[in-house]
Amino acid sequence: APSPAGHASAAVSRPLTEVPPVAAPAEAAVRSAKSVAASAPTAWTGGGLISTTAGKVFFQRADGGTFTCSATVANSDNKSVVLTAGHCVVDAGTGEVYRNWVFIPGYANGNRPFGTFTATQLFHLDQYVSTGGNANWDFAFARVGQVDGRSLVDTVGAQGIAFNSATGRHVHSFGYGGSAEEGSGERLNHCEGDEFIDGGRPGSTMWGIDCVQSGGSSGGGFLADFDTAAGAGALVGNISVSAGANEYHPTLGNEALDVYRQAGAV
């Protein structure tokens, strides 16, 4: 996991910006059920929009090694954007942008129910690389191509996304952790809890919950205002780093909004 290497610069103005979710097409609908509170990752069995909009990521580094992360579809103008972690798209130490980057929504046990969406461009914040991996900036977006002539959002729906939103709320996180207890990266897992500020790293602006998902969950979404029956909410961050029994997400402020707008441009 990346370690903070600097301090965030304060934005001058931080108005709340919210983008609503988009329901999945009828043919993509999955059974919904109410979730239970969890302080350790549990398999997500609630169905709903999150089961089509959360997905697994595969990519390669320059040395040819293949790695995995998680990501979530975010509603955007071009209907082709996912939110993930900065360290899932770029090497903060070298500036190397990863290659052969694909997103598989609804991935489960090797199945790709909606196809494989290949990234056409990856977007990260310059400060993430210039600071050598400060986790405050550990967010990224990918723009993906179409599958069978349909955009990502038209295929699986989209979660909402919020920038400069309130902190300290009840949130839910989702990812494809690689531990045996989490299904070895083959299923979507879920945590939830009341978020608290990261007090363990000087200069940190991250928030976290009392739950930890393992390697492979990086980039998975943190959602506020989450309706467990519908499986829908507003993305407010992505799984970034863990410490002890807690996992943390960077906050999405004006800087993240700028990167999101670049990724979502038509």
Residue identified by tokens 């492979």 is 216
Confidence (pLDDT) at 1: 36
Nearest to 224 by CA among 165, 177, 153, 156: 165
Q: What percentage of the chain exceeds 90 in pLDDT?
A: 82
Reply yes or no on whether the pLDDT at 239 is more than 60: yes
Instruction: Characterise 117 by phi-psi region: left (phi > 0), alpha (psi -120 to 50), beta (else).
Output: beta
DSSP 8-state assignment for residue 233: E
Confidence (pLDDT) at 16: 81
In angstroms, rounded to a whole number, what is the distance separating the alpha carbons of residues 165 and 3?
A: 24
Which uninterrupted H or E stretch holds 255? helix 254-264
Query: Which pLDDT band holds residue 82 (cuts at 50, 70, 90)?
Result: very high
State the pTM of this model: 0.89
* Domains in the chain: ranges and CATH: 40-264 (2.40.10.10)
Query: Which pLDDT band holds residue 2 (cuts at 50, 70, 90)?
Result: very low
Edge-to-edge, what's the strand order for the sheet holding 232-238?
A: 17-19, 160-163, 232-238, 221-227, 170-175, 189-194, 42-43
